[in-house]
Amino acid sequence: MAGTQAVDRAAQVLLAVIDAAEPPTQGEIQAATGLAKSTLSRLVGSLERHCLVSRDTDGRVRPGVALQRYAHSSRRDDDLRALADPHLHALAESTGETVNLAVLVDGEVEQLAQVDSRYFLGSVNWVGQRVPLHCSAQGKVFLAAGAALPPGPLERRTSNTICDRAALADEVRRHRDRGWALADGELEPGLVALAAPILERGGDVVAALSVSGPSLRLHARIDDVAGLLTHHAARLSQDLGWQPPRKASA
């Protein structure tokens, strides 16, 4: 029991460090966990020896190199795929369309996973492919979260591609306000895609979930599909530790 209690307390400390908006002081960790000062000092020392936390010169505590290695390893994408898989299948089942999960890599959108449409028409395997930010629904999700466009002229993929940066910025702002993005024939002619952000515990966008299909099927269903998409995106975000903002009481 004592060993379990020590592990629980160490986990409390580690979560307090990870969840903090800025590296906390030991006093701030103590306030968040309620642990005695001497207990907290021992736990921080133990976590530091195992490279799970590190201390700055001013005494603030931040995630250690072991956590940084994991955060930047390919295993993180594997874990994200596994966690997202039931949501991808449920969304594909409810919409009948192709569902993709993507991350931001080197200024482009890289597709991690896909569940195909139940229709033969319109199914393309995007896994492993990269697409530009400015002409994809998933890319607009990352732009809304602060990703930067590449320098120079934006590639025109179709006649619908938005290549004017000011016009694109206006559209991205609208997408951010409503919580999901749309690309209508901008990546490929006749392809409509909707995408919503996947958030981690701290509220950062770590991935984008999308539904795509031919315009002849999706144009009349955009609002309904958007509702299903944002529902599953929120559920996956909660699985990653994100909590929706509390509604103000009347």
Segment 38-60 mean pLDDT? 87
| Rounded alpha-carbon distances, angstroms, from residue 183 to 17, 53, 154 | 38, 42, 15
What domains are there in the chain, each with its CATH number?
2-70 (1.10.10.10), 74-239 (3.30.450.40)
Quote the percentage of the chain above a pLDDT of 70: 91
Residues 50-78: what's their mean pLDDT? 74
CA angle 156, 161, 165 (to 5 degrees): 85
Name the most confidently modeled range: 1-5, 18-22, 106-110, 115-119. 106-110
pTM of the complete model:
0.70
| 20-35 pLDDT, tens digit each | 878 899 889 999 899 9
Q: For residues 157 and 185, what is the distance between their CA atoms, to the nearest angstrom?
A: 9
- Measured from the Cβ of residue 191, the count of other Cβ atoms closer than 10 Å reads 22
Tens digit of each residue's pLDDT (9 = 90 or more) over 164-178: 999 999 999 999 999
